[in-house]
Chain A
C-alpha cells in the first residue's frame, strides 16, 4: 500500500511540493507562486514554518490518508473511499454536500468550495492516477532533499525506525501516523513536538469509526426487541380493554 514519509529535519521549505501538487491536480497558480497559510479548495498541500526553542522548522500540511478513514465512514452516500492501493479518494458525482467529512476529520483536512453553486469537497488524493501507474507521487518526485519520499507503507516504517535509531538525538522518538487514528498512509518524522506541526496529540490508536459503529451495530437489535416490546404492550392493554368491555356488558345483562 502506497504511503508518504515526511521528514521535517530534511525540509528546506523550497515549495517544490506545492508547485508539483498544483501541476498534478491542475490547480490555479498565483503569479508570485505563493500559497495560503492553510490548505484550501485550491491548495491540497501547503508549507508552513514552526518555531521551537529559537529555531525555525518547515513542515507540510496534507491529507493523512488514514487506513480506516473517518471521512469514509461518515459519508452518507459513500462519496469518500479508501482504495486498496492507499489513496482516500472522493467521488464528486455522489456528494450531496452535507459536509460531515469536514466536521468529522480528526486532522481537519477536507475543504469545501463555499462560493460555488455546485460545490465539491477538495483534498489531496495521494496522486491516485500516478499510484495506479506505479509512479511516485508528484510531491515526492519534486522534493529535492528527500524530505518527502513515496513508497510501500511497511518499507517507509522500516526506514523511519532506522532513521530514529541512527540519530536518536535528532528526532522525537515517535513515527506520527503509525498508530494515530488506527494508522495513516502519510507518516511524519520530526525533531520537535508534533503539535507544533498542527498534528493533534492524544488521538486514540483505534480507528475513530469504531466510536459510531459501536452504536450503529445495536440498531437491528433495537428495532427487533423494540418492535416486539411495543406489540406486546399493545396486546396487553388492548386485551385489558376488551375484558373490561365484556365485563361491563355482562353486568348490564344481569339486572
Chain B
C-alpha cells in the first residue's frame, strides 16, 4: 500500500458501489460456477419489420434472477425503407448497447481509481454499406464497416488519466468484445 492510499481514502462518488464489486470479484474467484450467467431476451413479431424484445429474467450467481421491472425494446426500420419506424433499428440498438456498456465501464473504472466524474457523454457513429444486407454485392459485409465512439468526459483527472479510463473500459467491456471478436451463434427453430 502506498502512502497516498493510507492518507487519502476514496472521495470520488460516481454512484458505483466499488466495495460490492470487489467482494463480488473475490466471491466469484472462489466460486467460479456462480459466474456462469445466462442472458435471455424474448422477441415477438408485431407487424412488418416491427418487433418487440422483452428483458425480464436471467440466470446468475447460481440462481434465477429478475429485473426490477420488465424492459421492452421496440425495433423497426425507418420510413425510407417503407417501414413504420416504430422503433430504433436493431443496428442502432447494438450501438446503444456498446455505448451503454463502455460508459458503465468508465464510471466503474473511475470509481476504482478514485476519479470524480462530472459529465460523460459519447457519440457513436457507425458506417455500413446497405448493399450488403440487400444482397447487391457479396463482397460487402452486412455489418458495420467501421464504428467510431467519441467520448467527452469532464472529470478531476489529467487528459491521459481520462484516456486511460476509456481504454480500460474497452478492455473490460462485454459488448466491445462482442462487437470486435467473433462469437458462435446458433439460430434454431422449434
Is chain B a partner of chain A in the same complex?
no
> Chain A interface (Cβ within 8 Å of chain B)?
none
> Chain B interface (Cβ within 8 Å of chain A)?
none
